[in-house]
Amino acid sequence: MPKAKGKTQRQKFGYNVNQKHLNRNAGRKAAPRIECFHIRHAWDHAKSVPQNLVEIGLAVDPNKAVPLSGHGGACL
């Protein structure tokens, strides 16, 4: 449904806002701090997520890491 003409506000620059703090907080929210010490220090930002997890020894997909044997196997 179209908006009424003249009802949208244009964006205004916030001159009283510190841009350095804004960018720093945006970066922290985009990439939160990993709590586990070992994972945080073993992580390589140049590699993809699956490559990092394989090197650490974690499974990317638990369904592929522990495959079920056969179709009619006993369910747990």
Along the chain (76 residues), what's the average pLDDT of each consecutive run of 10 residues?
A: 76 93 86 87 91 93 84 60
Phi, psi of 16 (to 5 degrees): -95, 10
3-23 burial, b at 16+ Cβ within 10 Å, e below that, comes to eeeeeeeeeeeeeeeeeeeee
Domain map (residue ranges) of the chain: 35-68
Q: What was the pLDDT predicted at 76?
A: 60
pTM: 0.50
